[in-house]
Amino acid sequence: METKGPIVLIDDDEDDHEILVPILQQIAPHNPVVVFTRGQDAIDFLRTTDQRPFLIISEVSMNTMTGLELRRQIEQDNGLRKRAIPFIFFTHPVYKHLVEEAYDLTIQGFFEKKSNMTDITTQLQAIIDYWSNCLHPNRFASQDL
Residue 119 pLDDT exceeds 80: yes
**Domain definitions of the chain by residue range:** 7-139
* CB-facing half-sphere around the CA of 57: CA atoms within 13 A: 23
For helices 67-76 and 96-104, what crossing angle results, to 10°? Answer: 10
CA end-to-end span of the chain:
12
* Local confidence band at 75 (pLDDT 50, 70, 90 cut-offs): very high
Q: What is the pLDDT of residues 48-61, one digit of tens each?
A: 999 999 999 999 99
Find the mean pLDDT for residues 113-128: 96
Residue 37 pLDDT exceeds 60: yes
- H or E stretch at 125: helix 117-133
Task: Quote the mean pLDDT of the chain.
Answer: 92
What top-level class would CATH report for the domain 7-139?
A: alpha beta
Q: Which residues contact 20 (CB under 8 A, 6 or more apart)?
A: 9, 11, 57, 90, 120, 124
pLDDT score for 135:
78
For helices 39-48 and 67-76, what crossing angle results, to 10°? Answer: 30
Q: Which residues contact 132 (CB under 8 A, 6 or more apart)?
A: 3
Residue 144 pLDDT exceeds 70: no
- H or E stretch at 111: strand 109-112
Q: Is 10 helix (H, G, I), strand (E, B) or coil?
A: strand
pTM: 0.91
